[in-house]
Chains A and B, each alone.
Chain A
């Protein structure tokens, strides 16, 4: 079970989004489970190919995911995941 938290910026589009615990063996499966709980959320983080969007990042236990294309970074019980956005803007 992984503990997932989100950038507050996502609350604008998903007001009910909170930190939660999700059963997933890797980041890709985590995204699938989150989409089940929050329809539409996946499309904010990944594109149609399942790749992480350019200005979105996911941290697992404090380190950025290595596999941005397929999100196969493994999760262990107790992994702490954070979905963040880049600081770009203007």
Chain B
């Protein structure tokens, strides 16, 4: 793999701290937000959540997550001026230190004649439990990077970057260039993982990233001349059932899909159009899979490709309990008029009985009963890009 320079900053790095309560592990579960104006860390209280920290104030945060293997909170920072940056906290979000971001190596090209440079750090993901110092980063314009030394250095995963389909069949979907936004690592096998690329599709490796194959059979890309192409699908998000990772859920640009054979094939599970009935469960960005029950998942549907907004001014979450055969409309506690919230692909999360989601209009909602009812945690937050529970 091509190795790029990088180093963990220590004494000379700015410790990006702020005024806030001291948070230790005794504070228990946390809720992390990546927003247009920084990282927000909420801690659990008896009756809800309380804001503990607001870090990287004023800076857009595409992604934030807590790595339980190293008890570290990682975030990416989308500096409008200074480029893409990475940071890590070892104290629950009270302070962060800079970690040198991955760099596209010399000679890397988006297409022949178009040099590749890092445009966006879209997604950060932990490696396998047996590799606690491994983190993966999905980027725009389409490279996957890996660190094997807890961020001291990053390597380009060349097997994916050099896939023969990349130059001609990957393209930007919403962003200027292709981007990797989902990186589930198989809990049973450190050498197996998936990536989801907008716009190319789902790819799988079974040998630690040396070789990759597209896994898009059954998907429908209605914006292409041939909707059943092997590569070229706009996957919005994928997530698998943690207990049964052969079951994978997908929110696609062209509907909702589910695989029960480890992505060898996909089956459409969105609502079909029916005369006289408004179709709700079809378009959207995030999807959350129940960790225990492979038949349960949640979506936050939007009106459609050309109207990316809440359906009919009403914000809703939908849950399936039968593997996608039917979808339950969950609206208790959510606004039912004048709502134009859009929930981005990383802005919905589930942990046990709890769910939380945040929207582009700065609204944050939480449920402790699997989505049956919702409580608002904030109405005037910045646009929210990422919501992640931290155990």
Which residues of B245-291 have CB atoms within 8 Å of chain A's CB atoms?
Answer: none
| Among candidates A45, A49, A86, residue contacting B115 with C-beta atoms closer than 8 Å | A49
Closest CB in chain A relative to B113 CB, distance in Å: 13
B 1-36 contacts with A by CB, 8 A:
7, 9, 12-14, 16
Contact of B152 with A by CB under 8 A = no
Question: B7, B98, B100, B117: which contacts A13 (Cβ < 8 A)?
Answer: B98
With known contacts A40-B9, A40-B98, A40-B100, A56–B14 Cβ distance under 8 A: no
- Return chain A residues, CB-CB under 8 Å to B352: none
Q: Is B103 an interface residue (CB 8 A)?
A: yes
**Is the interface on chain A under 10, 10 to 19, 20 to 34, or 35 or more residues?**
20 to 34
Q: How far is the CB of B77 from chain A (nearest CB, A)?
A: 10
Which one of A9, A14, A49, A89 contacts B14 once the chains associate, using CB atoms below 8 Å?
A14
Smallest CB–CB gap between A37 and chain B, Å?
10
Write the chain B residue with the least CB distance to A10.
B82
Q: Is the CB of A16 within 8 A of B12?
A: yes
The residue from A13, A15, A38, A88 contacting B82, defined by CB atoms under 8 A apart: A13
Nearest chain A residue, comparing its CB with the CB of B57: A12
* Contact for B81 among A16, A43, A53, CB less than 8 A: A53
Secondary structure at the A interface, as helix, strand, loop or mixed, is loop
Q: Which residues of B contact A16 (CB under 8 A)?
A: 12
B83 in contact with A47 (CB, 8 Å) = yes
The answer, yes or no, to whether B80 is at the interface (CB within 8 Å) is yes
Structural contact, B14 and A12, CB atoms closer than 8 A: yes
Interface residues of chain B, those whose CB is within 8 Å of chain A, are 7, 9, 12-14, 16, 79-83, 98, 100-101, 103-106, 115, 117-118
Q: Are B80 and A89 in contact (CB under 8 A)?
A: yes
Separation of A85 and B79 alpha carbons in the complex (Å): 11
> Which of A44, A48, A53: most chain B Cβ within 10 A?
A48
Q: Is the CB of B14 within 8 A of A43?
A: no
Tell me if A48 and B14 are in contact (CB < 8 A): no
Chain B residue numbers with a CB within 8 Å of A88 are 80-81
Picked from B13, B81, B118, the residue with its CB within 8 Å of the CB of A47 is B118
Q: Contact at B14–A86, with CB atoms within 8 Å?
A: no
Q: How far is the CA of A53 from the CA of B115 in the complex (A)?
A: 14
Distance (Å) between the CB of A85 and the closest chain B CB? 4
* A39 B80 Cβ-Cβ under 8 A: no
Which residues from chain B contact A44 at a C-beta distance below 8 Å? 79, 82-83
Interface centre among B16, B79, B80, B82 (most CB of A within 10 A): B82
B12 and A38 within 8 A (CB):
yes
Of B80, B101, B106, which is within 8 A of A55 by CB? B80
Q: Nearest chain-A residue to B116 (Cβ)?
A: A48
Provide 20 A-B residue pairs closer than 8 Å at the C-beta atoms, listed in order of the A residue: A9-B81, A12-B14, A14-B12, A14-B14, A16-B12, A39-B7, A40-B12, A43-B82, A43-B101, A45-B82, A48-B103, A48-B104, A48-B105, A48-B117, A53-B82, A55-B80, A55-B81, A56-B82, A85-B81, A86-B81
A48-B118, A88-B80 known; 19 other A-B pairs, CB under 8 Å? A13-B14, A15-B14, A39-B7, A39-B12, A40-B12, A40-B98, A43-B82, A43-B100, A43-B101, A44-B83, A47-B117, A48-B106, A49-B117, A51-B117, A53-B82, A55-B80, A55-B81, A56-B81, A88-B81
Closest chain-B Cβ to A63's Cβ sits at a distance in Å of 20
Q: Please give, as numbers and ranges, the residues of chain B lying within 8 Å of A49 by CB-CB distance.
A: 115, 117
